[in-house]
Structure 1
Amino acid sequence: MTASMSVTDRIEADYVIETAIDPQEAAETMAGEQSSGTFLPIPGETEELKARSAARVEHLEVFQTVDTPSLPGAAVGETYQRAHVTLSWPLGNIGPSLPNLMATVSGNLFELKPFSGLRVMDIRMPQAFADIYPGPQFGIEGTRRLTGVSKGPLIGTIIKPSVGFSPQETADRVAILAQAGIDFIKDDELQTDGPYCPFEERVTAVMAVINAHAEKTGKKVMYAFNLTGEVDEMRARHDFVRELGGTCVMASVNSVGLGGMIALGRHSQLPIHAHRNGWGYLSRHPMLGWSHVAWSKFWRLAGADHLHVNGLRNKFCEPDDSVIQSAQSLLTPLFNDKPCLTMPVFSSGQSAIQPDETYRRMQTTDLIYAAGGGIVGHPDGIEAGVRSLREAWDAAEQGIPAVDHAKEHPALARALDAYAQ
């Protein structure tokens, strides 16, 4: 790999920290731990070396003091100060390498005793990373082209039950959904290549249905086949989907890892639907782990065309403000000449109830809106479930309250009654 790289290029990362010691000292400990320093001076760490390779504390601002530590195992104090910290590193330490960037900005930081809380909030990378990594090859524009959905959200769903269907039973469900007018279907993250529903048999059965529907109607449903596995397995599964006319593959990014996702991104000729299952263990505590803003940049550069963000009033623990911030971050350019925009996927407990607020807060329909029970649980059936979501989004885009729009749209009216909370 080659990339244009200046010796003045620097990587920056923003954090929130909580510490019982002086925050400036704590920040300098972070910088030393993640570059040329250690817990005591050592031979060879010359001033010249530090000038070349040491991380710098670029910003520090204390914003709160609390009486109890957020996490166990930290140095004990009478109070604990929280601060915003920005560190920077010379690009020459690691070069434009995403796996080593992840090690650099996080590494051992979460384990350091001075910290009773530490969270990575954002990352800024030099242009050299854009020169090396593919980023989304399809993104919003390519996904719209392949699905034929030129405006509005892609209305999607998940095959449920998550596991238990045979390949033919899966295909039978896809036939019903395609007939109902769905745009996008995905495997559940638990369904990959088990003996009861082997990957190639599932792809063969499903694509027979999708291709037949496309020949009859001109509309080709996008199906994200879950190919999560070892790198060679994922490449082979991708090729099989492509050969049968499929238009999307899916990977569980926390399971395949950054190296696996990069390898898949370089190989893929189809959109990659990136599933973030496991996100909770990286983010659930507000003083530990990662913000989605920082974490998602790795997967965007690695090649994620779609990425999950939960949804408003979801069945999980994520607050609505976090969901919106995550989705908006995916639509914020990473570089001036390489935006790397990834299509947000709203899911988890979604129905005809949430489009109004989702659109009001996002002000865009460049997203996939995936509902399980919000479609198949509609009192009048799956086709009415799909129609109710389109009607809810039409109302949202036109600025019409859903309850008013429902007066002339029975599918929406029945959905609002069925899913009212």
Structure 2
Amino acid sequence: MGNATHVTIVYQLAADSRSQAEQIAENISIEQSVEMPAGTVPASASASLPTIEKVDPIDENLWKAVIHYPVSIIDGDPTQFLNVLYGNISLLDGIKLLDVHDQYFAELLSGPAFGIQGIRKLLNVHTRPLSCTALKPVGLSAVELAGRAGQFARGGIDIIKDDHGLADQSTAAFTERVSNCLKAIRDGEQHSGKRTCYFPNITTSPARLFSRFQLAVDLGAEGVLISPQLTGIEAMHEIAKTAQVPVMAHPAFSGPYVIPKSTGFSMELYYGKLWRAFGADAIIYPNAGGRFTFSKETCQALNQQIRKDFCIFKPSFPVPAGGIDLVSIPDWIKEYGKETIFLVGGSLYKQDTGIEQATATFQQMLGPDE
């Protein structure tokens, strides 16, 4: 399959001494490959054993281990790739994945089908930051949600995504909601004079996911929202490979993978590398200063990872969200730059001027498309 012979994984280990750290690295290499005592591995399976490149100190009682796994134990299967990354060791404390070297990703995965430039082309917006909002709340009827979508479109919003809590509830069943919202958005575009794209939430069980995706496309949705931690990350990859519409990834259910300091993944690896490699054209994450606890430095590092050169993959759009106040948008533009989709939800709903005017104000803050 390709030229890569090994997958290189970088871990952070909690250990009191070098000898303990080296033993943990040895245990990881066995646990994530042959899963049996080293002395009992048959000679014919010895090629499946990883090699430990180094174990170096990071800080007090923290170590970095670099381990090379033969690609033969993955054999071109994206799900097995995830298993090798964080299978049994996800059950152990004190092990955090910091990075996976780039060389194998492009042989295994296809990355975003659209990326930054594809979404910009869809909207015919080429230089300024993009705006996004969340259609909510769950419990409103399809007609009521469509009324809100129409107001956002009249105000000139770039992207309307469903709230991740909107599924196929009886109050606003999927087909009825998508149909009504698209009609309202098309009407709103006549007032704004610009394109507004709608990304309905297709997250559901595996048995229904692809039919719901195709239904959204057939109804005319310009993109889709998916929560890959709920559907399975490879399901997002399969949808992205169809290259029909952009995929926006939502972080619901992923917190335990990125929040702990001593287990899980770095945000840059999990959202910035894995989700991008598995096909996310735009990646929503909890921004600093909002309802969640991520630092500005962490968010900035994630932004850079989502956009920067990575194998042959197109750059994705970072989508900071989670309680961004409308008045703070100019400051966040200075912080994060123009290649960003700013997702503002509640702050638009609470403006005294109403949704349409609040959205128009949001658009003005983003500046002209030069």
Shift of 1:393: 3.9
Shift of 1:131: 4.1
Which string of whole-angstrom CA distances, capped at 9 and with x for unpartnered residues, describes residues 42-77 of structure 1? 151x3x743x22111122112333xxxxxxxxxxxx
Q: Work out whether 1:111 is the aligned partner of 2:91.
A: yes
Which has the higher Rg, Structure 1 or Structure 2?
Answer: 1
Which string of whole-angstrom CA distances, capped at 9 and with x for unpartnered residues, describes residues 120-170 of structure 1? 11112435x424533211111111111222221111111232x01111011
Question: Which ranges in structure 1 are unaligned for 5 or more consecutive residues?
Answer: 66-80, 398-421
TM-score w.r.t. length of structure 2: 0.91
Shift of 1:36: 3.0
Contact 2:150 2:187 in 1 (8 A): no
What is the alpha-carbon distance in structure 2 between the residues aligned to residue 237 and residue 268 of structure 1? 16
What is the alpha-carbon distance in structure 2 between the residues aligned to residue 360 and residue 181 of structure 1? 22
Equivalent residues in 2 for 1:402-413, closer than 5 Å:
none
Q: Secondary structure at the match of 2:303?
A: helix
- Name 2:81's counterpart in structure 1: 101
Equivalent residues in 2 for 1:198-347, closer than 5 Å:
198-214=173-189, 218-296=193-271, 297-335=273-311, 338-347=312-321
- Name 1:70's counterpart in structure 2: none
Q: Work out whether 1:26 is the aligned partner of 2:24.
A: yes
What is the alpha-carbon distance in structure 1 between the residues aligned to residue 253 and residue 190 of structure 2? 38
Equivalent residues in 2 for 1:65-84, closer than 5 Å:
65=60, 81-84=61-64
Give every structure 1 segment of 4 or more consecutive aligned residues whose post-TM-superposition deviation is greater than 6 Å. Answer: none
What is the alpha-carbon distance in structure 1 between the residues aligned to residue 65 and residue 212 of structure 2? 43
What is the alpha-carbon distance in structure 2 between the residues aligned to residue 43 and residue 288 of structure 1? 28
- Quick one: which amino acid aligns to residue 291 of structure 2? K
Q: Work out whether 1:170 is the aligned partner of 2:145.
A: yes
- Name 2:50's counterpart in structure 1: 55
What is the alpha-carbon distance in structure 2 between the residues aligned to residue 31 and residue 96 of structure 1? 20
What is the alpha-carbon distance in structure 1 between the residues aligned to residue 99 and residue 108 of structure 2? 20
- Name 1:404's counterpart in structure 2: none
Shift of 1:206: 0.8
Contact 2:146 2:184 in 1 (8 A): yes
Q: Work out whether 1:389 is the aligned partner of 2:362.
A: yes
- Name 1:369's counterpart in structure 2: 342
- Quick one: which amino acid aligns to residue 10 of structure 1? H
What is the alpha-carbon distance in structure 2 between the residues aligned to residue 43 and residue 272 of structure 1? 43
Shift of 1:224: 1.0
Q: Secondary structure at the match of 2:165?
A: coil
What is the alpha-carbon distance in structure 2 between the residues aligned to residue 94 and residue 63 of structure 1? 29
The higher relative CO (CA closer than 8 Å, separation ≥ 6) is in 2
What is the alpha-carbon distance in structure 2 between the residues aligned to residue 353 and residue 346 of structure 1? 15
The 3 A distance-change label for structure 1 pair 387 and 196 is: closer
Shift of 1:191: 0.6
Q: Secondary structure at the match of 1:196?
A: helix
- Name 1:148's counterpart in structure 2: 124
Shift of 1:327: 1.8
- Name 1:192's counterpart in structure 2: 167
- Quick one: which amino acid aligns to residue 301 of structure 2? Q
Shift of 1:391: 4.1
- Name 2:134's counterpart in structure 1: 158
- Name 1:92's counterpart in structure 2: 72
Shift of 1:222: 0.9
Contact 1:352 1:392 in 2 (8 A): no
TM-score w.r.t. length of structure 1: 0.81
Q: Secondary structure at the match of 1:135?
A: coil
> Identity of aligned pairs, percent?
24
- Name 2:325's counterpart in structure 1: 351
- Quick one: which amino acid aligns to residue 250 of structure 1? L
Contact 1:312 1:354 in 2 (8 A): no
What is the alpha-carbon distance in structure 1 between the residues aligned to residue 143 and residue 243 of structure 2? 26
Contact 1:140 1:343 in 2 (8 A): yes
